[in-house]
Amino acid sequence: MGEDELLIFLVAIALTVSFAPKTLGLFIHRLFRRDNPAAGLPPLALATSVLWIAYVLTNHADPSVTGFYTFFYLVIGMAAVIGLGFKVPQAYGLRVHVDIYQRRNLAVSLVVSGFAIATGMIYGGSVWGEADAVGDDEGGWWIPGGFFLAGWSILLLAVWVYIRGESKSLRASLVQDRDLPAARAVTVYLLGIASMITEGVAGDFWGWSEGLLGLGIIAGMILTHQLCARRVPVLMTTVESQTLGKVDLRQFEAIAYAALTVTFWLIRRTLDSWAIGVDR
């Protein structure tokens, strides 16, 4: 292990040990956990992310990623999920300790947990495929790290576009109104975007056809959100129809995101089968 790898490993351990207890609510009073479904989502999101990363490392990572290096990349992944997946939403005002554990806000918990899982998905994709874990001239930890940061930056950009496209403050909808339909729509959007980014940062990229496909589906998601958040409500004339319409539109929005994600996966699998057939 080189000095740079040791430094990154120690930093990842420090981040995980420092942030994990508060993220998981280990030190809060048990009364905050009692009858609080919001409190169960962050631990579930972290466990899901860690299991996904472990699965990729043990089954689809470079053959050189064995033994200690499997643990090395797993710890970095945990630090990424805890340090980025759970902490970055707090910069937007979605607070894990206050909103999720103390105020029992299920809407905030759903979105924060979805963002954490999306972060874990992208990290798992970045270590999928060839990457020399021993850090010689052909590669090293910085290659999957670079792909992860690139993919995660795209996720942040997609989140920013979503927030800008809202007709009112998304933070207010989640924190103050506890809007579960809005939270579900955001969560499906996050996971759908992350699934396409995961494919993009993995080590089996087929070329422009895959890149344009993912770009087209993401554009479709953004267009769907713009229509549901701004254009369609304008066509409604009464207060009653606007109130009912917002709920229905959020539900339609979530279904549309899920359908677009499934479409991406079906087309992607078709392209994979076609490419394998051509190679033969």
pLDDT tens sequence across 217-253:
888 888 888 788 765 554 444 444 445 445 578 888 9
Better-scored residue on pLDDT, 63 or 272:
63
Is 223 inside any structural domain? no
pLDDT of residue 149 exceeding 90? yes
Render pLDDT for 17-69 as a digit per residue (tens, 0 to 9). 999 988 888 888 888 788 899 999 999 999 999 999 999 999 988 887 888 88
Q: What are phi and psi of 205, to 5 degrees?
A: -70, 130
pLDDT at position 210 is 59
Render pLDDT for 161-189 as a digit per residue (tens, 0 to 9). 999 988 889 999 999 999 999 999 999 99
Is 188 inside any structural domain? yes
Assigned token pair, 27:
């030190």
Assigned token pair, 132:
């020399």
Provide the domain count of the chain: 1
Render pLDDT for 133-146 as a digit per residue (tens, 0 to 9). 444 545 578 888 88
Is 148 inside any structural domain? yes
Nearest-angstrom CA–CA distance, 166 and 174: 12
Better-scored residue on pLDDT, 44 or 269:
44
CA 68 to chain centre: 26
The pLDDT of 188-193, averaged and rounded, is 95
Is 271 inside any structural domain? no
Nearest-angstrom CA–CA distance, 181 and 174: 10
Is 67 inside any structural domain? yes
Nearest-angstrom CA–CA distance, 12 and 74: 10
Angle CA 108–253–37, to nearest 5: 30
pLDDT at position 204 is 54
pLDDT at position 231 is 58
Render pLDDT for 84-111 as a digit per residue (tens, 0 to 9). 999 999 999 999 999 999 999 999 999 9
pLDDT at position 266 is 87
Count of C-beta atoms within a 10 Å radius of residue 45 = 25
pLDDT at position 216 is 81
The pLDDT of 68-74, averaged and rounded, is 92
pLDDT at position 73 is 94
Nearest-angstrom CA–CA distance, 193 and 260: 10
pLDDT at position 239 is 45
Angle CA 228–231–232, to nearest 5: 60
Q: Which residues pair with 129 in a beta bridge?
A: 61
Identity at 108, one-letter amino acid code: V
Assigned token pair, 241:
């129809």
pLDDT at position 240 is 44
Is 234 inside any structural domain? no
What residues make up the domain containing 120? 3-205
Render pLDDT for 202-224 as a digit per residue (tens, 0 to 9). 865 544 455 667 778 888 888 88
